[in-house]
Structure 1
Amino acid sequence: MNKYRYLLVHDLRHAVRDPVLMVGFFGPIALLVVSRFGFPAAAEGLSRSSSFDLYAYSSFTGITLAITIPMLIGTMTGLLMLDERDEGLISYYAVTPFMRRGYMLYRLILPMGLAVSLSGIYLVFSGLLELQWGNLAVLILLALEAPCFTLFLAAFAANKVEGLALSKISGLFIAGTIVVYFVPGVWQLLGTWLPSYWIAKVYFGIEAASLIRVSIDFGIGLTYHLALLFMLVKVFEKRAD
């Protein structure tokens, strides 16, 4: 455990020195504050000025922001991996007691753990989402989303500059909630390749109390996330060699 404690301390020191990486820590907190206090204020203001009911979109807003949390965490840890690759640390870790497998395990568990804790806090305290036991299924998918974002950057970006550019493009991946909420009927199939699509499908299925549909969507979403994670690990390992 000491070797993983060393990596954790190294990550914390690195993140404190880099404002970009600090967004991964403070971004989810900012989203929680906006959801808890900013959304009700905006809803009341719109209701008085134009009779527009923003609360009708509270679930859509809540699940979209919830999906943003693992994206922020994954971006932070992905940029950390790019820094380590640029500095030759990944090759160094491969010949130490960490070994490459231990390093990869740590780099997958860290974003998952952060995503579980921060996303769980958001689901409970945002005030925009219904509290149901079924949200545990949503939390599982959110936890898998974080390492997928991490490895997406680490596998396809050549350096940290490219990683920052890709992180902006990867923000488009949260569009799955838009597809589920606004796109009608069979046209929703266009969004099935987006991981966030399955998270939104599960959450809205829970709201509709469609347990059979939720079970099917969760099964597909879980399989898709695990397959995507496996593929990204393989691509990263080839890139790191």
Structure 2
Amino acid sequence: MSTFIEQIKADSKNIFRDPMISIIPFVPVLAAFALSYLIPYINTFFAIKEYYHIFAVFVIILSPMLYSMVIGFMLLEDRDEQLLSYISITPSGKGGYLSRKMFIPVVASFLITLISVPVSRLSPVHGFLLVFPALVSASGVPLFALFLAGFANNKVEGLAYAKGSGVLFLSILFAFFLPEPIQYIAGFIFPYYWVARVFETVRMTEVNYLRVVIETTAGLSVNILWTYIFLRKFIKKCG
């Protein structure tokens, strides 16, 4: 427990030491608040109200995307400083270190999403039903953090990868505009798809809870699979 607390303190110092990174934890709620006024304002000029739910999904995935970027940069720094080589000989090893590293961002991402969506006022989905897409979304934090840390050679490359991964936002559109058989194929390649898929199901007038559970499980499974793949890549790169 003391090791866990010590790591949280160390990570907090690293986050708030960098001015750019230090504001990222607060961006999701601030962005949701801005969108709560911006999107309705745009709607006065262009009829986009029927697409509010798509903007709501953007709010849901914003938090894990930003949090994973922060953790990814921290892992890059740890790797460059050869910290993981020393950690590998400790009792908990790299696995324990990475688990502790990911725990707080995953939980924070989940909780921030539950706050951000109501703040955005872009969707009637809230409370218990919002838990399902928020859970799938938060499970993407380790995935994208390890993706950045596993493929980037430095922070500059990491930033480029982070920007490039922004195109994955477009995969949420599959849940709204592609026929379902094709959707599910895309879902094995694009993790963000499942956030939109689950959200689309829970926002129905009559919610099919069995379908919600199945889609949530599918989303979590895909994220876990990709997390494992990127974890292997990251460990291999660490040497």
Specify if TM > 0.5: yes
Greater shift, 183-192 or 107-116, is seen at: 183-192
Counterpart for residue 140 of structure 2 = 145
* 5+ residue gaps, structure 2: none
Displacement of 1:108: 2.1
1:118 aligns with 2:112: yes
Answer whether contact 1:68 1:174 (CA < 8 A) is retained.
Answer: no
| 1:133 matches 2:131 | no
Among all aligned residue pairs of Structure 1 and Structure 2, give the percentage whose two residues are the same amino acid: 27
Mean Cα deviation higher: 218-227 or 69-78: 218-227
Q: What's 1:230 paired with?
A: 228
Contact 1:24 1:73 in 2 (8 A): yes
Match of 1:215 among 213, 216, 221: 213
Q: Secondary structure at the match of 2:71?
A: helix
Shift of 1:138: 0.9
CA distance in structure 2 between the aligned counterparts of 1:149 and 1:27, rounded to whole angstroms? 18
Q: CA deviation at 1:25?
A: 1.3
Residue 134 of structure 1: SS of its match in structure 2?
helix
| Distance in 1, Cα, partners of 2:227 & 2:72 | 14
| CA deviation after TM superposition for structure 1 residue 14, in Å | 1.8
- Secondary structure of the residue aligned to 2:121 is coil
Tell me how far apart the structure 2 counterparts of residues 6 and 96 of structure 1 sit (CA, whole Å).
15
Q: How far is the alpha carbon of 1:101 from its aligned partner?
A: 2.5
1:161 and 2:156 aligned:
yes
How far is the alpha carbon of 1:72 from its aligned partner? 0.6
Asked if the contact 1:73–1:115 (Cα under 8 Å) also holds between the matched residues in 2, the reply is yes
Can you list the C-alpha shifts for 1:128-165, whole angstroms capped at 9, x where unaligned?
12225222111210110111111111111122111111
Query: Partner of 1:197 in structure 2?
Result: 193
Question: In structure 2, what residue type is equivalent to 1:230?
Answer: Y
Per the alignment, in what secondary structure is the counterpart of residue 128 of structure 2?
coil
Is the 8 Å Cα contact of residues 155 and 236 (structure 1) preserved in structure 2? yes
Q: Structure 2: which amino acid aligns with 1:167?
A: A
Which residue in 1 is equivalent to 2:41? 41
Partner residue, 1:55: 49
1:75-130 per-residue CA deviation (whole Å, 9 max, x = no partner) reads: 01100110111112222333346532221111221221221121121133321122
1:80 matched residue in structure 2: 74
Q: One-letter code of the match for 1:163?
A: G
Query: In structure 2, do the counterparts of structure 1 residues 234 and 185 end up closer, same or farther at CA, with 3 Å as the change threshold?
Result: closer
Return 5+ residue gaps in structure 1 as ranges: 47-51
Q: How many residues align?
A: 235
* 2:64–2:138 contact (8 Å) kept in structure 1: yes
Q: Secondary structure at the match of 2:139?
A: helix
1:170 is matched with 165
CA distance in 2, matches of 1:160, 1:149: 14
Would you say the 8 A contact 2:29–2:119 is kept in 1? no
RMSD: 2.1
SS, match of residue 194 in structure 1: coil
Which amino acid in the other structure matches residue 177 of structure 1?
I
Q: 1:190: how far off?
A: 5.7
